[in-house]
Chain A
């Protein structure tokens, strides 16, 4: 069997197509495992994993922790809020202190883009990027593509529109890399102010009209407005944003074909997506969450097999 071409998962940018295939095939097996009555395998008995979160997270942190425990790894959790980081400790010092407790793998979320890459160059452990600022969120993009593949049979040739706050979204960037790598067509849609200026250089097209974008696509991935990353106003009011870019049942039903609706969570119901759409049968939001565990098990398993 092939193995991953990388030692760390820092971003989709560093993966090749074979890596993604391998992760998906492995995730298929783990999906079967997590649907058994006993959902645990003993593979990673002798591996210790630290989940280091310098930024808030519910889904990703729970999903990683569950994936690690289902693989029988020992898990330690660390949140920056309750730690010595507040006392002025540097990132490398924090992580090296944790590593001296014989930790093999670090899953890290950090508000600074490139934090994972920086860490991988300075510490001796396998690093998994669980989101670094507005840069990448590779496991989210993998589980999104995996969910598309599960629903539509394949990712290649599919038309995917990513709607909303592209500028501040690591999910958007990782998704663009992952979808392009697998041969999908990608469009981004949102107000001018939330679309990065040179986004076309990544091989995507831009559409400012939501209806046009939805009529074009097979899959719509709705993103949340990341107010926590906005220091200035990018649009007049939330209400106006919702009127222009919110996905509601009326628009969805008026389209020529049935599209698949995705959302990486957390959802702001009534802003980027209405409740009846989020809970409709066209939405695969909860499948994404379930697949997240299988994908993270696959990533951790494959990276752990390279730790000697």
Chain B
């Protein structure tokens, strides 16, 4: 198994600030916006973006929720590994809100498909956007594209993108791993 660094801590920081600015451009005061981090790995990115928007760009209040899509997945009983559920934490309704789904890596698009169904349990959003840190293009199974992307990579199927976060793994770094 070999791995190479795709993005360093410094590069990730620059990208996070760019993504925050792009969100700010479209959502201004975030009054009618809800950021939704997808469990299990999208929540770190969502937390980080919220922190940057509040601390560095003076946004007063941002609704942030965590969504688990396990029970909405389309591979129940089809995957060899049992599906592990995580907790959903949504303290608000998304009715008429502009929802931004946030995940670390966009690969086949199936998780996002499940999230689009899951989000309906919390109301009818005015619109839904997608923000991802890494977009693995050419790997999509469904017609789903991000509105905001950190970095686009051409990874083949045997490769895996591994995102490490300071909060969890002790360091911000992204690897491309050859399985």
Contact = CB atoms under 8 A, between A and B. Distances in A.
> Is the A/B pair a real complex?
yes
Contacts of B87: 28-29, 32
Nearest to A41: B71
A37 B77 contact: no
Interface in A10-26: 25-26
Interface residues of A, number: 24
A101 interface: no
Given A33-B71, A41-B71, A304 B77 contact: yes
B72 interface: yes
Given A37-B93, A42-B71, A307 B121 contact: no
Contacts of B88: 29, 32-33
Interface in A289-308: 301, 304-305, 307-308
A232 interface: no
Given A37-B93, A41-B71, A41-B72, A305 B83 contact: yes
A28 B82 CA distance: 17
Contacts, number: 55
Nearest to A302: B82
A230 interface: no
A41 to B, nearest CB: 4
B71 A307 contact: no
Contacts of B118: 41
A2 B82 contact: yes
A141 to B, nearest CB: 23
A212 B118 CA distance: 51
A150 interface: no
A124 interface: no
Contact of B83 (A1, A42, A46): A1
Given A36-B121, A37-B121, A38-B120, A305 B93 contact: no
A238 interface: no
B83 to A, nearest CB: 7
A258 interface: no
B69 to A, nearest CB: 10
Contact of A42 (B93, B117, B122): B117
Interface string B89-130: 000010000000000000000000000011011110000000
Interface string A128-166: 000000000000000000000000000000000000000
A1 B76 CA distance: 14
Contacts of A44: 76
A88 B121 CA distance: 47
Given A37-B122, A41-B72, A42-B71, A308 B77 contact: yes
16 contacts: A1-B81, A3-B82, A25-B85, A26-B85, A28-B87, A29-B85, A29-B88, A32-B87, A33-B121, A36-B122, A42-B72, A43-B71, A43-B76, A44-B76, A305-B77, A308-B77
Interface of B: 68, 70-73, 76-77, 81-88, 93, 117-118, 120-123
